[in-house]
Each structure stands twice: as structure tokens, then as C-alpha cells.
Amino acid sequence: MADIYVNSSGGAYDVVVESGAWDRAASVIAEKTAPSKVMIITDTNVASAQGARIDALKESMLCDTSSFVMPAGERYKTLTTLGGIMSAMVEAGLDRRSAVLAVGGGVVGDVAGFAAAVYMRGIDVYQFPTTLLAMVDSSVGGKTAVDLPEGKNLVGAFKSPRGVFADTTVLETLNEREILCGLAESAKYGIILDKGYFEYLKANAGVATEKECLDRQVCRCVELKRDIVARDEFEGGVRALLNYGHTVGHALEVLGGFERFRHGEAVSVGMVTAALVAEEIGFGEKGLASEAAEYLSALNLPTAMGSDMDAGDIIDVMRRDKKNLGGSLRMALPRAIGEGEVVSDVPVSAVKSAIMKHKSLYG
Ligand code: GLY
């Protein structure tokens, strides 16, 4: 369907968006870097849902392969898991010409990408996203990390993949909640970057999970991300727009103990709050939050944060977010649909009022 070319300081790469993309991977990888060996890194959920596909991928490789299966879930995105991967890499005899194939969602992509970034001071990584969220966002752009007990993604590196293979037929095994999380990230691109894309999403809300629409979403989101990363790979400025909905969303994830909200669900709620913040400080057009909320609700994504969520607690977690500089609140805010800016020094009082308003309007 599409090979989307992404430029990066670590070298240019293609994001292959196509049914059967994994079948092409072996020859693309052999041509691109001819690795001495590859290690497939995945998690227990993906290994059971995509076992046959992973076996086929492994068999198709034109070099020695090994596998590492990490336990599934954000709580295993740790230095301990990373250490286990490093030891397995040594044991499997990976050298500086070897490569990692990260097969999974955002967590696997982050840990495996970081493992590739630091093993022997850096080896190649290819991303095989198995969730919609990873296809539209996390597998592209080179952010990798593990969490510390003190916070999410606190140790990591920018490590561009040498290739990304996104095949939406892989999504057939995902449950509805997982697909919805990806649709929230997809909506993010429309609301903060591309009005035309948001119009497309609204017009196609009823078929958002059908293959043709999913393919269009993956292609458009990757193109939009490619353009942002080309301008600001290391998030000195404009890339932070992709954090729209994430500052409040992250606080909700933390306060919900990473059980109550999945990442995409928290982002869905956070996008509505951020739109309310934009309206509150007079930066964004009136009606932005309701337009975003209407689309998200039409998809069945959550817009309510819960009456027990305390504005003070949310703001405390937001202040600790590493994306804030010097303790002030920095948020990606929409000015209008499809047009956003990263605003530093957002007044805490405005965030507090927006949260109160959010709770009264959306729960
Ligand atoms: N997920 C946001 C970024 O890659 O910058």
C-alpha cells in the first residue's frame, strides 16, 4: 500500500504499511543491513496471539535467529527486563552487526528499542508494531525507554529504527479496548495537526475499525509524524505537540495505578481537558473541547476522568512530568482543530479550572 520514507539522524528508513508487510521484511532487512544475527523480542501476549506469524518471520530470516519473550505489561518495562534482554543477547552471540526485531505494542517497542540502543553501544532495530497505537505513533520516530519506580520513561534514548513493518491484518486479534486506544492516538494527530484528517475521521467514525479506514489512519498518522520528526527529531520544540493529551493523561494513568486507564484511554480524556485549558486561557477557540469530546464519545472512548479524581493531585503529577521545564506547566494545546502549539508557563489556576469544568461537563 505505502512505503513512507522517514529521515532521521540515525539514517533514513521506510515505514512499510501493507498487508503482508512482515513477509517482505526478511529481504528488506537483508538488503538494508544484512545482520549477522537477529533477536526477536516480544511479550507473552503477542507470542500467543501472533505465534504463527512470529514463527514465519523467524523462519524467513536469512541469518541466525533467537527470541526473547518478556512478560506483557507496562509494569515490566523496567531495567530488570532490560538486564535480562542484555544477558540473552550475549548468550545468543549477538555482535555489533546484529539486529533486534521488536515485535509488539508500545511497551515491547520501547524496551527492545532501548536494548538495541545500548547493547554494545548500539545495534540496529526493526519495529514490527502489533497494536494500532504502536502503528500510528510509537514505532516511528525513535523514542525508546524503560520506566523507573519514580516515573515513566525516565531512562531511554532516541534510537531510530532501520525499518518499520506495519500490517493492519495483525490487528485482527486485538480486543476492542486495545483498538480504541490506538484510535485515540490517531484522533490526536487530527485535532492537533491536521483539520482535513480530523474531518475524515469524523466522517468515518462508524467504520473507524474497518481495515480500509485503519490503513488510511496508519498512513496519515505516520506521514504527519514523519513531518514532525523531520523538523524536530529530539523534541526541542514542535515534536512536543505529539504530547497533546498526554500531560493530563499521564497524570490520570499514574493516579489510576496504571489499571484504571489504558494509555490511549487516558490520552482520550486528557485531550478533552487540554482543549478546555486552551479555551480557559483564551488561546483556543470556544467549542474545541466539545468537538473533540463528541468525536471521542462517538467512538466509545472515555471522556470522563471520574468524580474522585482530585485537581490538586492531577496537577502535582503534571508538575513532576519530565516534559515540564523547571516545574512550570508546559502543554501542547489546540488553537483550533488541526492547529496546535506547545505553550510553556500554562497557569496552574487555568489547569485547575479546566479540570473542574471537565468534571462538571464530562464526569
Ligand atoms: N509519542 C510522541 C512522540 O513520539 O514524540
> Which pLDDT value is given to residue 150?
82
pLDDT of 328 strictly over 80? no
**Is residue 146 in contact with ligand 1, taking CB distance under 6 Å?**
no
Joined grid coordinates for residue 239: 515534536
Same structural domain for residues 149 and 287?
no
Q: Determine the average pLDDT of the residues in 224-252.
A: 96
The mean pLDDT value for 66-81 works out to 96
Read off the pLDDT of each residue in 294-315 and give the average, rounded to a whole number.
97
pLDDT band at 154 (very low <50, low <70, confident <90, very high): very high
Is it the case that residue 327 has pLDDT exceeding 60? no
115-141 residue pLDDT tens: 999 999 999 999 999 999 999 999 999
Rounded average pLDDT over 305-328: 83
- Give the pTM: 0.96
- What confidence score (pLDDT) does residue 168 get? 97
What grid cell was written down for 145?
525507554
Q: Please, which pLDDT band fits residue 326 given cuts at 50, 70 and 90? A: low
Number of separate domains in the chain: 2
Q: Is 181 in the pocket of ligand 1 (CB under 6 A)?
A: no
Are the beta carbons of 197 and 224 closer than 8 angstroms? yes
* Secondary structure of the chain as H, E, C letters: CEEEEECCCCCCEEEEECCCHHHHHHHHHHHHCCCCEEEEEEEHHHHHHCHHHHHHHHHHCCCEEEEEEECCCHHHCCHHHHHHHHHHHHHCCCCCCCEEEEEECHHHHHHHHHHHHHHHHCCEEEEEECCHHHHHHHCCCCEEEEEECCEEEEEEEECCCCEEEECHHHHHHCCHHHHHHHHHHHHHHHHHHCHHHHHHHHHCHHHCCCHHHHHHHHHHHHHHHHHHHHHCCCCCCHHHHHHCCHHHHHHHHHHCCCCCCCHHHHHHHHHHHHHHHHHHCCCCCCCHHHHHHHHHHHCCCCCCCCCCCCHHHHHHHHHHCCCCCCCCEEEEEEEECCEEEEEEEECHHHHHHHHHHHHHHHC
For residue 3, pLDDT beyond 70: yes
137 in contact with ligand 1, CB cutoff 6 A: yes
What's the CATH code of the domain at 118?
3.40.50.1970
CA of 242 from ligand 1 middle (Å) equals 5
Mean pLDDT (whole number) for 237-254: 96
| pLDDT band at residue 152 using 50, 70 and 90 as cut-offs | confident
pLDDT in tens, 91-111: 999 999 999 999 999 999 999
Q: Report whether pLDDT(325) > 60.
A: no
Same domain, 123 and 232: no
- The answer for residues whose C-beta is within 8 angstroms of residue 194's C-beta and 6 or more apart is 220, 224, 338
> 173, 205, 231 — which closes off a domain?
173
Tell me the CA–centroid distance for residue 137 and ligand 1, in Å: 7
Give the tens place of pLDDT for each residue, 219-232.
999 999 999 999 99
Do 220 and 93 share a structural domain?
no
pLDDT value at residue 197: 98
Note the pLDDT of residue 340. Answer: 98
- The Å distance, Cα 66 to ligand 1 centre, comes to 29
Same domain, 95 and 218: no
173, 206, 221 — which closes off a domain? 173
- What pLDDT score does 149 carry? 87
Q: Find out whether the beta carbon of 265 lies less than 6 Å from any atom of ligand 1.
A: no
One domain for residues 295 and 324: yes
Residue 164 has pLDDT above 80, yes or no: yes
Residues 276 and 345 in one domain: yes
- One domain for residues 56 and 151: yes
Q: pLDDT > 70: what percent of the chain?
A: 98
Tell which one of 8, 138, 231, 322 to mutate to probe ligand 1, the residue whose CB is within 8 A of the most ligand atoms. 138
Mean pLDDT for the chain overall: 96
CA of 244 to the centre of ligand 1 (A): 10
Q: Which atom of ligand 1 is nearest to the CA of 228?
A: 5
Q: Note whether 201 and 111 are same-domain residues.
A: no
Domain that holds residue 225: 176-362
How much is the pLDDT for 320?
81
* Average pLDDT of span 261-273: 97
Amino acid letter at 288? L
Phi, then psi, of 19 in degrees rounded to 5: -70, 130
337 pLDDT tier (thresholds 50, 70, 90): very high
Domain end (from 138, 158, 173): 173
Q: What is the pLDDT of residue 258?
A: 86
Same domain, 76 and 184: no
